[in-house]
Amino acid sequence: MLYPSSFLAPAFAVLAVFFFLPTVFNFVYAFTDWSAFHDDIRPVGLANVKAVLSNGALLSSLRITIVYAVLVAIMQTGFGLGLALLLERDTRINRFARVVFFIPVLMSALAVGYTFQALLKPDGPLNGLLGALIGQQVTIPWLGSTTWTVVTVAFVNSWKWMGLAMVIFLAGLKTIPADVLEAARIDGAGRWRTFLSIRFPLIAPAVTFNVATALLGSFNGFDTILATTGGGPAQQTEVLDIYIFRVYGNGLFAQATTMSLALLLLVALLAFPVIGYLRKRERVL
Amino acid sequence: MKTRGLSRAAAAATCGALLLAGCSAGNPGTSSAPAGPVTTAWPDPGAGLQGVTLTLWMSTQTAAMADNVIKSFEAKTGAKITKVVIPDVYETNAPTKLATGAKPDLATWQPTGSMLALLKPSTDLQSLDGAPWLARQTPAIQKLGVVNGHHYAAFVNVPSVLGVFYNKSVFQKAGITSPPKNFSELLADAQKIKAKGVAPFFGAAGDQWPTQWWPQVLLAEASKKGLWERVSQNKEKFTDPEILGAVRQFQDMVKQGLFNQDDKTSKYTESGPALLKGEAAMVLQLTSFASLMQSTADTATIDREIGWFPISKDGNIATSVPGGDNALVAFKTGDPKREAGARQFLRFWLETYYPDYVKSAGTVSIEPAVPTPAGVPEAVKQATAALDDAAGSMQQNAAVNPDFYVNLANMVNGTMTPEQVTSTTQSQFAQLAQALGIQGF
């Protein structure tokens, strides 16, 4: 049965107000002098673009954002796939374990961040545990390394979301026809060969979804990082959203908007090739 | 500001240069005139205010400071005060909330020129010129919280000054009998303490912001000679020898290992216990650091264990940094009843209730007629006394407040040189000054 297209109006109205309008404003404000310091808003052309490009912090934040997003995509997908394979069989213990691993997905990202901040202190429980295992004091500053802390926060974020990736992979694994797997077994394929040649190619849509959501979602990484490191040490985990937040807090609203525009462009530039490549993999199905 | 702002922007885009000039930026105190003292009525502190609800924004640090005042004010006047605690970082989140159109009647706020600028004082804040409580306060306080000649902040607490809190036992063990008389002596004492195996200073670079105090105390004398005013006029830069030298000195101290080993990850809250336990000999901090120590030790213990002295490059000049727990601002909301109610609340706090407030808060009185209660640590009293001769900090005297501390924390972590710290800070300063419409940028 066909419904009149006017039925779409309410949905489009909501879309216009809550999506299109803010996006348009994002473009407009990026070319003005909007700030906390005065009410007037005047156009300033490309002055904000020049200002944010002249500052090395934007490029540094972009680099950190990309590193962080790639790390999250790899870890989250990897952890999710590992868990899905581990908990694939429908036993009572596995069903319980799936629930346990899904709990962090439901937790507040800030709560997760603060919990890990406490766990990872130089005199925190993790170092305490390691110290007890090796029999001497361990004081690794997990969140204090200017090189490795970005890996640590990517791990924390991946830990939080790996339950979701697990569920998506489990759904993918469950759709593989039993006769295909049985045929492979009759043909003499071992577990590893079956996984590489049959199971992994057949869950390509799940891989696409997990990699795309983890990678592109992490470009907007904010809450977990804010709670664990606040962008430190030495701004080495200051992803673009945290940098934008800081600039916005300084009252430079237009420049923050210009940076969010840069983020939008970056995500768009990366999203199309990444999703395009992953979708291409699915065509074998 | 939003839709109106967009239409203005669109209009400005089509109106040409003349119109653009007409829409000049609202530099505090230069655009629309604030309500002057002549027309401002100051309602009786105890007058009835039934049916009036006032909203008060507070930070997590100041969340409880007004509880008793609010209770008493509501009981006396019938008004209702809705307290809204804005999550950290307050100084970032409150202006963000304001930008969305939300506006409280009152808020606690850091009463410095650079921080008040974020609230657009000339157009958005009530002028407190001629407020009856001003004459009751000490002369040093009366000079603060002023932007372009107008009072915008009501001080309820004594402003913080920077000084060194030190552990008396550690000093004694290192053979130090009297506090240092200048920065060179301080560094010499630090070496003596280091030789005893104790960290001379506790730095909390994990929180970033405490890093900025070191260059600032080294610049106290320069500040008295108008350094920050010259920086605000673009006549002197962060990259010039004065400020660069102070940053280099701080880096030198870090390189010499004069700070705690876990400086890079340590937090401000860890500095109080570390000093009390003698794990570090000294902490350079604001007067409000005493409150941190009071959360784990009583006043008698603090007085027995902890001493205080101000320090500067050539002497013992303290540096004044009014903080977010020192003052309140009242917003122009467009509702005369609520605006008057906000002024009445401030009168109630600073006149009727002030003796009870200092007693319940255990704080130094800023009104000579109201005695400071017993139980205030000696260090706080000394810091308060040092306020009279204090130099102004960057926050207090400069036109805007760049992220100096972020860059300094980067230097502590080894990712920035002093030259990079000062050049990055200078460019941030210039950006903010341009946004504020300051001439010369």
For residue range B400-420, what is the model confidence (pLDDT) as tens digits? 889 999 999 999 999 999 999
pTM: predicted TM-score of the whole model, two decimal places? 0.82
CB contact under 8 A, A54 and B427: yes
Q: Do A122 and B123 touch (CB under 8 A)?
A: no
Distance from the A148 Cα atom to the nearest Cα atom in chain B, whole angstroms:
13
B337 closest CA partner among B48, B97, B38, B74: B48
The two three-digit tokens of residue B351, written as one number: 């006149």
B93:A251 CB<8 A: no
Sheet arrangement for strand B80-86: B80-86, B53-59, B106-108, B327-330, B154-155
Q: CA A154, A119, A160: angle at the middle one, nearest 5?
A: 40
Round the average pLDDT of chain A to a whole number and report it: 91
pLDDT band with cut points at 50, 70 and 90 for residue B333? very high
Q: What is the pLDDT of residues B97-135, one digit of tens each?
A: 888 889 999 999 999 988 998 898 989 999 999 999 999
d(CA A271, CA A255): 24
* pLDDT at residue number A69: 95
**Residues of chain A neighbouring B26 (CB-CB closer than 8 A):** 37-40
* ipTM for the assembly: 0.79
pLDDT digits (tens, 9 = 90+) for A114-128: 999 999 988 889 999
Is A144 in contact with B204 (CB distance < 8 Å)? Answer: no
CA atoms within 13 A on the CB side of B49: 28
Cα–Cα distances in Å, from B385 out to A193, B136, B221, B409?
Answer: 79, 17, 18, 31
- A42, B23: Cβ pair inside 8 Å? yes
Candidate from B5, B415, B432 with C-beta closest to A252: B432
Contact flag B436-A37 (C-beta cutoff 8 Å): yes
Q: Which residue of B has its CA nearest to A235?
A: B410
Mean residue pLDDT of chain B comes to 88
Three-state DSSP class for B319? strand
pLDDT digits 0-9 by tens, B277-304: 999 999 999 998 988 898 889 999 999 9
Dihedral sign for Cα atoms in the order A222, A228, A230, A233? negative
Which residues on chain B are in Cβ contact (under 8 Å) with A248?
92, 96
On chain B, the residues whose CB falls within 8 A of the CB of A64 are none
